[in-house]
Amino acid sequence: MHITFLDRFEARPGRILQWTPSEISTGSTYPVPPTSNQQLHLPGSRGDTTWLAATFDVPGPIDTDALRASFEEWTSRHDALSCSFSQAEEADESSALFVDVADVVDLRLREETVADARTPEQVRELLGERLDRWCNPFAFPAYFLGAITREDQSTVICGFDHAICDGWSMSIAITEISTLYREYTRADRNPIASDLLPEPGSFLNYCFRESATADPEPGDHRIAGWRSFLRSCGGDTPHFPVDLGLPAGTMSPQGTDTRMLLDADEAELFDQNCADHRHSSFGAILASIGLATTQLTEKRDTRLLFPVHTRREPRHNHTFGWLVANAPMTVTSMDDLHSTARAVNLAFHEALSLSSVSSRQVLRSLGPEVSPTRRDIFSVSYADYRTMPGGSRPRESRPGDSQPAPINPQQLSRVSSADDVQFWFSRTHDGLAVRTRFPAPAAQAVFTFLGCVSEILSTP
């Protein structure tokens, strides 16, 4: 899986196709409110969307009947894809959001030719327009299903508003759609998803269980842990430790960067080196962030959030939805990478226990004790795609692969505005990479920081 942004999407020209519902049954309002993540995300989405998309390649031109059937089969499989959201009209409930559930059991899709894109720039522009338009959480469907058809090799594309998906879900999407498409292109064209794919688990039931969880008591040790962490941030959320040259409260056009830090062989040695020194690879990544901060600012402590998936039960391994929590971490620089990483590992389990309280519950409990000065938060994410549905494979399939996998899988995000920095580290069979989002005027500061991180991780 190659993790990138739309402006860096490796897009070859071709005819862009889209599949949209021919008829929509709006269903009814679901009796369970949106999750904590959604309730924080959606109020700021009125005039905008924060979408995630994924692509994979298939041989030859698109078999449009096979892809339509694959999309229809797949969308009926995951109940998150039946959701859109509406805002309460009453003034005293202006922040309340409700889930509208459409009837997608008999969803039928129609094909539309968007345009013939003759340059990579046109591909990115046209896809961006469609993804922005269709991945709207306040309309159904909140997703885009499409393809770029070419004579030699085509690209299947799916995109979703963040309210109904997370990064893990992108792996689920391309793995399952590619499996269905491969079967539908066979002569009989009569696959049954339940025979080909594992049980998906219900995202709406997950939402129900979350909503039934009582808020923690004021004296709960987890609230105390969050209070201590946020106080150490000055009553603010954590922010990038190097001066960005951007006043608090000022949004900037977003800058992007993607780079490979370690190739396949180097990443294998890195993982083994981490194991030999009794700490995790993610612990070493967080340690490199802390050590880079110390090199550039002489600060010993680096505070950040890291996302953790909440797929704690096997029934949700293949659930499409947004199943993520956040954990707070203070990385304290020690003598070297390995001693710092071992200290991180000790702090990691306490951080995980704090992630069992949702961000919304934390903010509700602490109230005026927390006053964020920026919209964005400094976060560091790590995903090992080798452990996700479909597993990681080299970007080009190799003869003898025991399981067919999506060809040239890519995950891309929207480019918008930013006022802080986020890192997404990804481990695949190709190596260790990082994708970075930051305010464009802070490019030099961020690139200098990334250079330090790269050097630290590359040192035995």
Which H or E element spans position 283?
Answer: helix 281-297
Distance CA 3, CA 234 (A): 33
What is the token pair recorded at 151?
């004579």
Q: Is 293 exposed, middle or buried (0-12, 13-18, 19+ CB in 10 A)?
A: buried
Radius of gyration of the chain measured on its C-alpha atoms: 22
Distance CA 263, CA 209 (A): 41
Give residue for tokens 């790590």: 382
CA angle, residues 311, 316, 320, in degrees to nearest 5: 100
Return the pLDDT at 101: 83
| Longest Cα separation, the chain | 66
Segment holding 121, helix H or strand E? helix 120-134
The predicted structure's pLDDT at residue 93:
45
Q: How far apart are CA 10 and CA 15, in angstroms?
A: 15
pLDDT tens, per residue, the chain with 460 residues: 999 999 999 889 999 999 999 877 666 787 777 888 988 888 766 557 899 999 999 999 999 999 999 999 999 999 999 988 887 665 444 456 778 888 776 789 999 999 999 999 999 999 999 999 999 998 889 999 999 999 999 999 999 999 999 999 999 999 999 999 998 998 666 766 667 899 999 999 999 888 888 889 989 999 999 999 999 999 999 999 999 999 988 999 999 999 999 999 999 999 999 999 999 999 999 999 999 999 999 999 999 999 999 998 899 999 999 999 999 999 999 999 999 999 999 999 999 999 999 988 999 899 999 999 999 999 999 999 999 988 776 655 554 444 467 899 999 999 999 999 999 999 999 999 999 999 999 999 999 999 999 999 998 7
Amino acid residing at 156: V
- Helix 281-297 × helix 337-354 angle, to 10°: 110
